[in-house]
């Protein structure tokens, strides 16, 4: 019974019972083209044979021991993350929120063991989304997500997105870290230009401030690089990074990646998780990571992303009275609309195309990374038909 669910979500009536690649199928047998993939989660699409095999094999062997024992597949996955990123060490979690919590705690502990325990303030940005725990809603700063949950926590300072001058002025001897999504998801699919990331890195270096990236949504190959900040070619590496969503491909998995230096305060007992890094998640996480790293995989994502970008640009050209802007990076894209985003989302769903929405009246598209040019054309054609059927006067 739907009434038995705490009504914090308002899903449509369709019920999906099966998925395959780019498609989801309802109990009625209707097929939908999935261009949101559980909000940037199903990176390899639905029911990927290698993921099923890895999960099944592991399910027959061992599900859980807790981190009081070694999990070899976790050690392997951590080593792979470190080999392909700035990181030296990894903590596994079950979600993005938990990865953020680990990042925030790691940053404060770093300054604490460095003899600067007063460095507690996190600098964050308008439009940010970092999850739903008390720490994460305070980091995100969205008034709607904070309302009714008590006094805002001390130690978070929010600056205007894209205002580098404000960052320069805001960093003090009490600043702990700058926390930023290289591409904002929830906030409206807004990319931080690579030059700004490089400048943030410099500012942090000059002031002994830690740089934390939230790549929960924009990581895992979504922008056409393994992680979005890697478009800066090593010139804007963070000290700490939270990932989740796509890295598990649909199995609950997140991680907090750190440099040895940034992680130096974290010792036995500093942090923990019962389920984080469990054998099932590690089995799937290894397959997802290996697939993302296969020769040509990310190049294919970049190529298809180019097709999507072109398609969206053509929609903007054809419907200037409806489309204000197209934005994003790689296969994390948004259409900023002049008519309500949710109305277009519903219309697309009526045409069997699943899209998301984001802040700033954006329709969000985040298809599985296995999307082909043909899938892109199909989606663009459906959106074209939906826009053709929309009037600038439509309000809901
Ligand atoms: C989804 C998201 C989170 C939270 O992840 P959960 O797995 O829902 O806890 C954090 N940061 C960003 C950027 C996200 O998109």
Ligand 1 probe mutation, 180, 181, 185, 190, most atoms within 8 A of CB: 185
Q: Rounded to whole angstroms, how far apart are CA atoms 189 and 329?
A: 8
Ligand 1 within 6 A of CB of 19: no
pLDDT tens for each residue of 269-304: 999 999 999 999 999 999 999 999 999 999 999 999
Q: Rounded to whole angstroms, how far apart are CA atoms 262 and 264?
A: 6
Percent of the chain exceeding pLDDT 70 equals 100
pLDDT tens for each residue of 139-191: 999 999 999 999 999 999 999 999 999 999 999 999 999 999 999 999 999 99
Mean pLDDT of the chain: 97
Residue identifier of the C-alpha nearest atom 6 of ligand 1: 96
Q: 158 forms bridges with which residues in the sheet?
A: 124
277, 92 in Cβ contact below 8 A?
yes
**CA trace torsion 23, 28, 29, 33 (10° rounding):** -20
Whether 86 has a binding-site annotation, put simply, is no
pLDDT at 115 over 60: yes
Residue 218 Cα: closest atom of ligand 1? 13
pLDDT of res. 187: 94
pLDDT of res. 396: 56
394 pLDDT tier (thresholds 50, 70, 90):
confident
Ligand 1 within 6 A of CB of 137: no
Ligand 1 within 6 A of CB of 185: yes
Ligand 1 within 6 A of CB of 191: no
DSSP string, 150-209: -SPPTTEEEE-TT-HHHHHHH--TTEEEEEE-SEESTTTSEEPPHHHHHHHHHHHHHHT-
Ligand 1 probe mutation, 41, 125, 137, 244, most atoms within 8 A of CB: 244
Q: pTM of the full predicted structure?
A: 0.98
pLDDT tens for each residue of 299-324: 999 999 999 999 999 999 999 999 99
Listed in sequence order, the residues at least 6 apart from 391 whose beta carbon sits closer than 8 Å to its beta carbon are 339
**Two tokens, residue 335:** 């259409």
Q: Rounded to whole angstroms, how far apart are CA atoms 146 and 360?
A: 18
Domains contained in the chain, CATH given = 2-34+296-394 (3.90.1150.10), 50-292 (3.40.640.10)
């Amino acid at each position: 019974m739907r009434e038995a669910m705490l009504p914090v979500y308002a899903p449509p009536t369709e019920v999906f019972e099966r998925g395959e690649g780019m498609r989801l199928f309802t109990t009625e047998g209707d097929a939908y083209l999935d261009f949101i993939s559980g909000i940037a989660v199903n990176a390899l699409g639905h029911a990927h044979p290698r993921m099923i095999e890895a999960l099944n094999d592991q399910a027959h062997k061992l599900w859980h021991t807790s981190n009081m024992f070694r999990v070899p597949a976790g050690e392997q996955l951590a080593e792979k993350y470190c080999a392909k990123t700035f990181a030296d060490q990894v903590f596994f979690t079950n979600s993005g929120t938990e990865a953020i919590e680990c990042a925030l705690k790691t940053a404060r502990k770093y300054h604490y063991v460095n003899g600067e325990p007063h460095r507690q303030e996190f600098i964050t940005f308008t439009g940010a989304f970092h999850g739903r725990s008390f720490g994460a809603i305070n980091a995100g700063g969205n008034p709607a997500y904070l309302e009714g949950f008590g006094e805002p926590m001390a130690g978070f300072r929010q600056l205007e997105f894209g205002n580098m001058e404000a960052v320069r002025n805001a960093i003090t001897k009490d600043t702990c870290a700058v926390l930023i999504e290289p591409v904002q998801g929830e906030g409206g699919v807004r990319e931080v230009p690579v030059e700004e990331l490089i400048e943030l890195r410099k500012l942090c270096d000059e002031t002994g401030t830690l740089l934390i990236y939230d790549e929960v949504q924009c990581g895992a190959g979504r922008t056409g690089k393994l992680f979005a900040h890697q478009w800066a070619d090593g010139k804007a590496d963070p000290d700490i990074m939270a990932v989740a969503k796509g890295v598990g491909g649909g199995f609950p998995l997140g991680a907090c990646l750190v440099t040895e230096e940034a992680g130096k305060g974290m010792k036995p007992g500093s942090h923990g998780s019962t389920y984080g890094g469990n054998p099932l998640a590690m089995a799937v996480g290894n397959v997802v990571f290996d697939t993302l790293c296969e020769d040509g995989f990310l190049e294919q994502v970049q190529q298809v992303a180019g097709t999507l970008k072109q398609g969206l640009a053509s929609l903007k050209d054809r419907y200037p009275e409806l489309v204000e802007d197209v934005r994003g990076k790689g296969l994390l894209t948004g259409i900023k609309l002049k008519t309500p985003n949710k109305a277009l989302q519903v219309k697309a769903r009526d045409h069997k195309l699943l899209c998301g929405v984001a802040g700033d009246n954006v329709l969000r598209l985040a298809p599985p990374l296995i999307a082909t040019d043909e899938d892109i054309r199909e989606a663009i054609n459906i959106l074209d038909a939906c826009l053709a059927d929309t009037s600038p006067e439509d309000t809901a």
